[in-house]
Structure 1
Amino acid sequence: MHQTVVEKEDGYMERLLKDKKVCALLKDGDLAKGVVMEKRPKKLFVDLGAYGTGLVYGVEYLNANDLIKTLEVGAEVVGKVIDPENDAGYIELSLKEAGKQKGWDMIQDVHAKDEKFEASITGYNRGGLVADVFGIAGFMPVSQLSNEHYPRVGADQQKILEALRQFVGKTLAVKILSFNQKSNKLVISERAVAESDLRALVATYRIGDVIDGIVSGVTDFGAFVRFSDNSELEGLVHLSEIDHRLIDTPRSVLNVSDLVKAKIVDIRDSKISLSLKQLKENPWDKVLERFTEGQEIAGEVIKFNPFGALVKLDADFSGLIHVSEFGGFDEMKGTLEVGVSYPFIIKSIRPEDKRIVLVRKKEAIENQEGGVVQDADATKKTNIEAPTEDGQDAAPAA
């Protein structure tokens, strides 16, 4: 048997204000807890105690219909006040908005405490994952995934989407990165959880330490190496730190699951940078024992860049012939062809800059003076330096 609600007569709130038992009135946005008094078609009455009677009806009833079906008379509910007194004297409530408000309150609480929690992944898009966070939709950018879950598939958007799709239906430990209730924006981070857990581990290592690891991922810009003694730790070997010789792509020399030794060269914000080449003998230390200035040598053109053509001399060394040797970029490409070997003369060797400068054999011979090799147009100067062999552009000459 349930309690019947009597429709309130005019002036109910005015009389209620005179009741000394009421210490405060509810206002828009407040959350109010009460007990279900009566369920009618499209109306739900809630006893709010000294505050009066709450009412859920209309659109708010439809929005909370699934919840209302489960409620029995006497059940406790929490509603958000959307009208402190309607025309009939009732306090209009929204059960759906109350659920959202509780979610935002919990979000604010865990953010203030910097606590981690479990979030259920409900969807994905090109930018990242969508998750249910205490009933609020949150977004996790791809960059905020942990190293373990980061999709190392290059820049292929379809492969990234396929990798993200695997997380739907799973739960991830995350932290609140930022939120704004007014704009309904919530950003979460799995990486923040991983980083806080890793700080203690990272603190046990020092720059200069040599570690054993396994290649866990290869990208266009380098390779990720997971530490053998601490699988939670992972470092990045940048393309420029793979080898002393020129490497076009990391995939040409490294594969996932390769066992490697690497040297820690930097630790910053829990990110570890590694080097493979610093554990290898530097061939540039003995370059002058293998080549001499003025030496005639055959080399294979391997690529063009705005400075000139890069020429492979042997397994360890490449040289560069400047575009000015040909008069222009188009003329250079018309004279040389990638993959073809040509005779060159070594003009200069600069071990400290990892640079070997080449000139064309014909012009070099015509301009030899006293055994010294000169450019065909030695009177012209250029203030553009060629890039070093490791791919880094040098600063303009003074």
Structure 2
Amino acid sequence: MEEIAKDRSELLKPPKAGEIVRGRIIGRGRSSIFVDLGSWGTGIIYGKEFLLAKDLLKKAKEGDELFIKIVDLENEEGFIEVSALEADREISWLKLKEKRNTAENIMVKILGANKGGLLTTVMGVNAFLPVSQLSSANYPRVEDGDAMKILKELQKFVGQEMEVKILDLDPRGEKLILSEKIKETEKIKEILKDYKVGDIVEGEITGVVDFGAFVKFGADSLEGLVHISELDWQLIENPGDVVQVGEKVKLKIIDISNGKVSLSLRALKEDPWKTIEKTYEKGKITRGKITKFNPFGAFVEVAAKIQGLCHISEFGTRQKMEELLKIGSEYDFEVLLLDIKEHRLLLKLVL
């Protein structure tokens, strides 16, 4: 970043292209502004630079001081070409960097929304607030994760003000990323010192999404996530089939990191796999119902909350697999592998 000349004594030094200095307006033309640069001479903002900075300069008058950036040390008319807009941008980025380093809270007005988050400006710089950086209170909980439904929820914030902090910035790439939840995270980290992995807590389901469920728990209404894989021992397609918003539940804390709490419902349920070792020994024939196809093969329910996989390689192609098997129908299968610890059951269709 070019050095900013902060006082008149620095103006005695030879000017450099790209340097930001302070000047005083001494005159205006129809599409130009003349700036006194002391012993350096006279600077001029004109042409494209004048048009780009029109809004910035519309209230400027003779005698006003402003920061400008040296563009050309001498043009054909003998003036030093300068830019007010570039200087304003660079100074804005410097101030934004300072705000990030000091973790200063900033009030912004939401100007727009897209599927990824909210749009706003800070000190004239375009900024983005990702969905993932919204506070728990404002995070859009859409059950099926539909992008258009998420956008509809985000659009409700347009016109509203939010208190945020700067998460990241890149002046060269002109990227300014904001976070609403940073301040919340700092408070949560302090509260979480009273909890540890393995604790049992009681909570309430506050949101159901395609990847799991959000739960509020504890006296401070902390929020944690129950991943879809931690809802139950059985394979789950739709979390809404297992839990509902408003439902009271008991959970186990399985991870605490970076202010985030991971919870489990299934950890407090008896593991059905522990009792099936003799029933599904390698080589045994068992009856099972087809529940789902995926690129790896067919999922087969052999008992309540127990599903195995008949691998695609047993058929050669998915088309062949779907010709032989129908979802909802029952068939005989041979047990190829049972791994109780990893909850893996590999099967082969008995023809």
TM-score w.r.t. length of structure 2: 0.77
Q: 1:76 to 1:340 in 2, by over 3 A?
A: same
CA contact (8 A) 1:126 1:160 kept: yes
- What is the alpha-carbon distance in structure 1 between the residues aligned to residue 32 and residue 308 of structure 2? 83
1:40 is aligned, of 29, 44, 59, to 29
Match of 1:31 in 2: 20
CA contact (8 A) 2:23 2:66 kept: yes
CA contact (8 A) 1:215 1:224 kept: yes
| Superposed CA RMSD | 3.9
Q: 1:59 to 1:178 in 2, by over 3 A?
A: same
Give the 5 Å matches for 1:136-151: 136-151=125-140
1:186 is aligned, of 173, 176, 190, to 176
Match of 2:86 in 1: 97
CA contact (8 A) 2:235 2:307 kept: no
Q: 1:343 to 1:38 in 2, by over 3 A?
A: closer
1:113 is aligned, of 80, 90, 102, to 102
CA contact (8 A) 1:302 1:312 kept: no
- Cα drift, residue 225 of structure 1: 1.3
- Cα drift, residue 99 of structure 1: 1.8
CA contact (8 A) 1:214 1:228 kept: no
Give the 5 Å matches for 1:268-287: 268-284=257-273
Match of 1:243 in 2: 232
Alignment of 1:78 with 2:67, yes or no, is: yes
- Cα drift, residue 274 of structure 1: 0.3
Alignment of 1:216 with 2:206, yes or no, is: yes
- What is the alpha-carbon distance in structure 2 between the residues aligned to residue 271 and residue 170 of structure 1? 27
- What is the alpha-carbon distance in structure 1 between the residues aligned to residue 299 and residue 66 of structure 2? 75
Q: 1:79 to 1:285 in 2, by over 3 A?
A: same
CA offset digits 1:15-73 (Å, max 9, x no partner): xxxxx996323322333333333333223233344544333222222223334332333
Match of 1:17 in 2: none
Corresponding residue SS for 1:132: strand
Q: Percent identity?
A: 37
Q: 1:282 to 1:44 in 2, by over 3 A?
A: same
Q: 1:208 to 1:250 in 2, by over 3 A?
A: same
Match of 1:68 in 2: 57
- Cα drift, residue 134 of structure 1: 1.9
Give the 5 Å matches for 1:292-331: 300-304=289-293, 306=296, 308-311=298-301, 313=303, 316-318=304-306, 320=308, 322=310
2:150 is aligned, of 152, 155, 160, to 160
- What is the alpha-carbon distance in structure 1 between the residues aligned to residue 10 and residue 234 of structure 2? 85
Q: Is the radius of gyration larger for structure 1 or structure 2? A: 1
CA contact (8 A) 1:120 1:133 kept: no
In structure 2, the gaps of 5 or more residues are 1-8
- Cα drift, residue 302 of structure 1: 2.8
Alignment of 1:203 with 2:193, yes or no, is: yes
Q: Which amino acid aligns with 1:163?
A: E
